[in-house]
Structure 1
Amino acid sequence: MRSRKTSIEINGIDIYFEEYYHSPHQETYVLIHGFLSSSFSFRKLLPFLSAENNVISIDIPPFGKSGKISRFQYSYENISITILFLLVSLGYKQVYIIGHSMGGQIALNMMLQRPSFIHKGILLASSGYMAKTKRSLRLLSHFPFFNHYIRYYLNQTGVEGNLKQVVYDTTCIDQEMYDGYLEPFLDTNIFRALTRMVRDREGDLPVEKLNRIQTPCLLIWGDHDRIVPLHIGQRLVKDLPNADLIVLKNTGHLLPEEKPEDVYRKIKEFVQ
């Protein structure tokens, strides 16, 4: 297996990715993380997937080690187009896509834009039905130093507080986990980029667009998800024409961290 961790400029911004490549004959999985996260969140799922498959784990801009420039458009549509450009530039013809939380919404946008490119989709506690950012907040984001407000808001609970919200069993939180989720926010440019994201985020796909997605999808949810509650998954599985829903017991929102082996087993069954 060949592996590399690098960045490539795509669509005017640096995209960081980790690639684990066996051969063109192996299945390829693309991992897309959620909001305020990075490819770090897949570190426990990755060994299962990369043992026999090609895997690409991508940092969505402005998160992780990807670019954090304020001139990039951080809409779901543009992020999805950028990731598709990256995959095509790497020579991939068709992939399986795994999206966690906000990454699930990115995955759905990719299925809508290039349905023939996505063989199957796996949505791990995918976000859904969130409206566009309120107009008042979008207007406020144009004021100088709004990025300081975002930083202050996120610091209210801190990394440890946020982690306690996204897992069911808090004993899994250790120093490695804490440091991994803190690292992307040590670069203060992320707060300026998040200011732009407040303006650019167009809201989740409406029902009429979800109904158009024919890609087979597997939805995996934790029964104790406090971030994207199970009823969102139950609604999504009805609005996606070709989808199934699996619920994992005693699991929170951070599925790849809490139940990596169970998630891998369900993915493998779905793909086969």
Structure 2
Amino acid sequence: MKIVRTLFLVLLIVIAVAVVNGIFSVTMARIFLNRIEREGRYLKVGEEELFLKVLGEGKPMLMIHGFPGSHLDFSELAKLLSSNRKVYLVDLPGSGLSEASSKGDYSRKGYAELLVDLMNLLNIEKADIIGHSLGGEIALNIGYYYSERVENLILIDSYAFTEQKLVPDFISSSKVLTWIAMRFYYQTYPVQRYLYTKRLGDKSYFVHEEFGKYFALVDRMSIQFLSEFIKDSDGGSLSGMLGEIDLNVLIIWGERDEILPLDYAKKISEEIPGSTLKIIEGRGHAPFIDKPERVAEEILSFLE
């Protein structure tokens, strides 16, 4: 009986902590959501309403963020690249300021097809494509299935061979368990702060205000979309076909990437013929946050 009471008490404490954490996280998200500037416009592409921000003039460059990021991730890097490029920053459906219609294909290939449709709408025949993390795998899909639309392909700490698992399969198979795991764990302030700092090679580059905005958009992601995103996943589907990509490819990698270690980058570079690998010393999974000037320098030098 004593064991039962103890277990019951522990359960109550866990529930209380989860609820308090949830309330705190939602409150923080609401505070920072109001601080996000919405300098851009919405475009209807198929069933989706995509938020798009455009910077600079010149040859077109499309930047694809990772998961669970947004166009804000590229803020500093995009400013630097827009000195001689017309940079298009887009929020993928379900991320950032773009809602998901729940009628689309949220696989990597599905996102690639959607972004090509966006290029058609914008009358962009060919563009330099930059993708980070999940966005890098989407960029690879564009490069593989729509190579004629790609001028240069730039991958930053990109997925290619493995799945980006958010939750174990036994949780993702249940909408209720997925909702609980996302709302009371993955989408909470402490967990996202921990995951965000893992993207940095040097934790001293952490900026509370920038993280707050990042978190507000993670909190904004709907559980329905997250469930469909997990279900539609086709991560690693091109792992055996990278050798068929015939493009100018630059691979940029943070030396201290804890999410996708440097060996992962070397494997991608070996698989893609003629690709160039540049390592950003001391940086993490998102080197453009730590050192946007250095990453911009590598990209612009490659494009010359």
TM-score (structure 2 length as normaliser): 0.81
CA distance in 2, matches of 1:100, 1:60: 13
Q: Which residue of 2 aligns with 1:167?
A: 200
CA distance in 2, matches of 1:240, 1:205: 15
Q: Which has the larger radius of gyration?
A: 2
- Runs of 4+ more than 6 Å apart: none
Amino acid paired to 1:177:
E
Gaps of 5+ in 1: none
| Structure 1 residues 200 and 133: CA distance shift in structure 2, 3 A | farther
Larger fraction in helix = 2
Of 47, 61, 84, which residue of structure 2 is paired with 1:52? Answer: 84
Residue 132 (structure 1) shift: 8.1
SS state of the match for residue 126, structure 1?
Answer: coil
CA distance in 1, matches of 2:279, 2:164: 28
Residue 182 (structure 1) shift: 1.1
Per-residue CA deviations over 1:177-207 (Å, capped at 9, x if unaligned) read 122211213425x222011111100122333
Q: How is 1:178-189 mapped onto 2 (pairs within 5 angstroms)?
A: 178-187=211-220
Q: How is 1:17-166 mapped onto 2 (pairs within 5 angstroms)?
A: 17-22=52-57, 26-131=58-163, 137=169, 140-144=172-176, 146-155=178-187, 157-166=190-199
| Structure 1 residues 150 and 114: CA distance shift in structure 2, 3 A | same
SS state of the match for residue 135, structure 2?
Answer: helix
Residue 128 (structure 1) shift: 2.0
CA distance in 2, matches of 1:232, 1:264: 22
Per-residue CA deviations over 1:206-258 (Å, capped at 9, x if unaligned) read 33321111011000111100011111110000111131111111101111111
Count of residues in correspondence between the two structures = 265
Q: Is the 8 A contact 1:133 1:201 kept in 2?
A: no
Per-residue CA deviations over 1:154-191 (Å, capped at 9, x if unaligned) read 14642321121110111211222122211213425x22
CA RMSD in angstroms comes to 2.1
| Structure 1 residues 119 and 106: CA distance shift in structure 2, 3 A | same
Q: Does 1:208 align with 2:243?
A: no
Residue 21 (structure 1) shift: 4.7
| Structure 1 residues 242 and 30: CA distance shift in structure 2, 3 A | same
Q: Which residue of 1 aligns with 2:46?
A: 11
Amino acid paired to 1:8:
L
Which of 64-73 and 149-158 deviates more?
Answer: 149-158
Percent identity over the alignment is: 23
CA distance in 1, matches of 2:223, 2:83: 36
CA distance in 1, matches of 2:181, 2:209: 28
CA distance in 1, matches of 2:182, 2:272: 34
Residue 41 (structure 1) shift: 0.4
Amino acid paired to 2:202:
D
CA distance in 2, matches of 1:89, 1:146: 35
CA distance in 2, matches of 1:86, 1:14: 11
Gaps of 5+ in 2: 1-38
| Structure 1 residues 248 and 267: CA distance shift in structure 2, 3 A | same
Residue 130 (structure 1) shift: 0.9
Q: Which residue of 1 aligns with 2:296?
A: 264
CA distance in 1, matches of 2:199, 2:111: 24
Residue 144 (structure 1) shift: 3.8
TM-score (structure 1 length as normaliser): 0.90
Of 256, 269, 289, which residue of structure 2 is paired with 1:224? Answer: 256
| Structure 1 residues 130 and 207: CA distance shift in structure 2, 3 A | closer
